[in-house]
Amino acid sequence: MTDDVEALPADSAPRHLAPGDVGLVQSRDFVCDRSFTFKNGQAIPGFTLRYETYGELNATRDNAVVICHALSGDHHCAGWHSPADRKPGWWNNLIGPGKAVDTRRFFVICANVLGGCQGSTGPLSTDPATGQPYGITFPPVTIRDMVNSQKLLLDHLGVAGVHAVIGGSMGGMIATLFAIEFPDLVRRVLAMATTARESAQAIAFNEVGRQAIMQDTAWNKGSYARDGGPRVGLAIARMMAHITYLSDASLDRKFGRRIQKQASVGVSDAQFEVESYLLHQGQSFINRFDANSYLYITRALDQYDLAHAYGSLELAFAPVQAEFLVVGFTSDWLFPPGQNRDIALALLRAGRRASYAELSTDRGHDSFLLESDELYGLVRGFLERDVVVFDFSI
Amino acid sequence: MNKIVVKRTFDMRIIGDWVAPNSRVLDLGCGQGELLDYLVQAKQVSAVGVDLEFANIAACVRRGVAAYQGDIAGFMGAFPEKHFDRVICSRTVQELSDPAGVIIEGLRVGQAVTVGFVNHGFWKNRVAALVSGRKVRNAVYPTAWFESRPANPVTIADFEDFCRTKGIRVARRVHLSGDWKTRCAVWPNLFAGYALYDLTR
């Protein structure tokens, strides 16, 4: 997902104190010192998940709402780490006291995925056997490994019931698989802008990103220093991926054909504003993301295929007890509405409870991060539903 | 409670009588999910509605009724034969662009299809059209032509003809008088305000 969703003017009032915000938050680390076996059979001696929580776990320990992030997201989904932060957590518009995901009612948990690089164990972490970063000796990560590791975090936090798992894009895959793998635990799934299996187009985009990384000589077969690595390749991967999160209409509205102020006529210089915007996106990404993590997580996305893993989508959904709400966005060309619809239809064919809603937006794949009262109302309605008992006397 | 809501509860109750407890029900053009909410509570059905409007889906979700935003034909096409015990087409049929196709497809994916519609052959509608020379406006269709969705003015006689020519079996039919409560036994196409049909193959 893109980085520029919530950039706010730096001169506004103390933003972390705004009503409806969770305010200042801290990340914590869950350190699991037991061996963790990945789907492919390989194991690591232990792992860490960095996570944040907002709100309180209730007495019955069943008001947990698990937020799942997308490819380049992290555990910081709401609030501020410091008053000086340039922007809040990535889903701050959705999560907070009185917001659609109401932290006065729910105990919200968000963890950086296994294989990630924002504090959770991944290729950048030190392999205790060698004292060096795992690099590409890290076991292949799957969406299922992300789910299983987060389940251990929920156990650690004493969560007995999950009111809802919520996620967009890759987060929607994690949320869906949570309900398949732990049907007794999960009561609701809200999956947005997601898919039950990536199309060839989505795999193709990911592969261009991976090639950009691996063909950068600094990648060095995945072995590089923590402050080094294939920065050029990673930036190009990000630039390309970033385009797939937006849309023709949204790029055109934002930049049109506007020319850079100091545009030079040289063929090698950025001439249009959209070019310098993408360059900036690439540059800011390399300062916070690890190239090997990018390879691992995009592979996890590409490998995810519920129908293949369980025989069919209906078989995959057979054990599900959760109620699903799947949300598609008309302008999403990465995981188009049809792929979201297919999830809801297969759930219904399997006799499960599922709804599908579609928002008309022109923001592309990243529409799930949209500031939209329609979306907020839908999410709130799903999480808090009115109970209207019919008057049978009529 | 206003007049329309009262009128509405009677056709809901008749449909409710036809629906088997714990059965699987599909409502085409479910609106805000009132009918399905009633059927879930009265008959513990497993329900899903289909509607084109986002606001209607959001209303269904809010009241806990499963609903799918999209096209009716596309939705039914994704289901195997007789997946549903009953497909309901309550006050939807007049707005469909291919009513025959929808009812026949409904009979493929459902054991039975329930159709409910306002009878445009009702004498008051005839008189109103004759006297005013304008589009009929009444409590059910209060809007002028320019603020209304396209709607076929279907009548009981038209619907009976349709079932006959398509070889669709009418398992049950209820014709309600102008008050939408009392049964109408004579000349329904003239004296019935509302009609409910239970169709099978």
CA gap A91, A100 in Å, rounded: 11
3-class DSSP state of A288: coil
Rg of chain B over Cα atoms, rounded to whole angstroms, equals 16
CB of B123 within 8 Å of a chain A CB? The answer is no
**Inter-chain contact B58–A392, Cβ cutoff 8 Å?**
no
Predicted ipTM? 0.94
**Inter-chain contact A360–B38, Cβ cutoff 8 Å?**
no
Q: Could you read off the pLDDT of B21-46 as tens digits, one per residue?
A: 999 999 999 999 999 999 999 999 99
Domain segments of chain B: what residues? 3-119+153-200
Amino acid B140: pLDDT:
80
Task: Round the average pLDDT of chain A to a whole number and report it.
Answer: 94
Host H or E run for residue A28? strand A28-32
Q: Which among B9, B37, B78 has CB closest to A345? A: B78
Tell me what the mean pLDDT of segment A373-385 comes to: 96
CB B134 within 8 A of CB B140: no
CA gap A239, A256 in Å, rounded: 18
The dotted CATH code for B3-119+153-200 is 3.40.50.150
CA gap A224, A291 in Å, rounded: 10
Chain-centroid distance, C-alpha B52: 16
| Choice among A149, A169, A247, A331 that is catalytic | A169
Amino acid A6: pLDDT:
46
Asked if the model's pLDDT at residue B143 lies above 70, the reply is yes
> Which tops the pLDDT comparison, A372 or A16?
A372
DSSP A233: H
Amino acid A391: pLDDT:
54
CA gap B181, A270 in Å, rounded: 74
Q: Could you read off the pLDDT of A90-106 as tens digits, one per residue?
A: 999 999 999 999 999 99
Residues in contact with A23: Cβ distance below 8 Å, sequence separation at least 6, in sequence order = A16, A17, A79, A80
Domain segments of chain A: what residues? 15-199+300-384
What six digits make up the tokens of B28?
Answer: 């085409």
Tell me what the mean pLDDT of segment A300-310 comes to: 98
Asked if the model's pLDDT at residue B137 lies above 90, the reply is no
| Choice among A145, A332, A342, A366 that is catalytic | A332
Asked if the model's pLDDT at residue A320 lies above 80, the reply is yes
The closest of A98, A351, A22, A338 to B74, measured between CA atoms, is A338
Tell me what the mean pLDDT of segment B96-121 comes to: 96
Question: What is the value of pTM for the model shown?
Answer: 0.94
Class of domain A15-199+300-384: alpha beta
Amino acid A394: pLDDT:
41
Amino acid A76: pLDDT:
98
Residues in contact with A195: Cβ distance below 8 Å, sequence separation at least 6, in sequence order = A172, A173, A202, A335, A339, A340, A342, A343
Cα three-residue angle A367-A372-A378, rounded to 5 degrees: 95
Tell me what the mean pLDDT of segment A23-47 comes to: 97
Asked if the model's pLDDT at residue A14 lies above 90, the reply is no
Q: Which residues on B lie below 8 Å from A382 (Cβ)?
A: 61-62
CA gap A97, A105 in Å, rounded: 8
3-class DSSP state of A212: helix
Asked if the model's pLDDT at residue B156 lies above 60, the reply is yes
> Looking at chain B from residue 52 to 91, which residues have their Cβ under 8 Å from any Cβ of chain A?
54-55, 57-64, 66-70, 75, 78-80, 83
Q: Which among B58, B70, B80 has CB closest to A381? A: B58
Asked if the model's pLDDT at residue A386 lies above 70, the reply is no
Strand-pairing partners, residue B40, are none
Chain-centroid distance, C-alpha A251: 22
| High-pLDDT (> 90) share of chain B, % | 85
pLDDT band per the 50, 70, 90 thresholds, residue B133:
very high
CB of B4 within 8 Å of a chain A CB? The answer is no
Asked if the model's pLDDT at residue B2 lies above 50, the reply is no
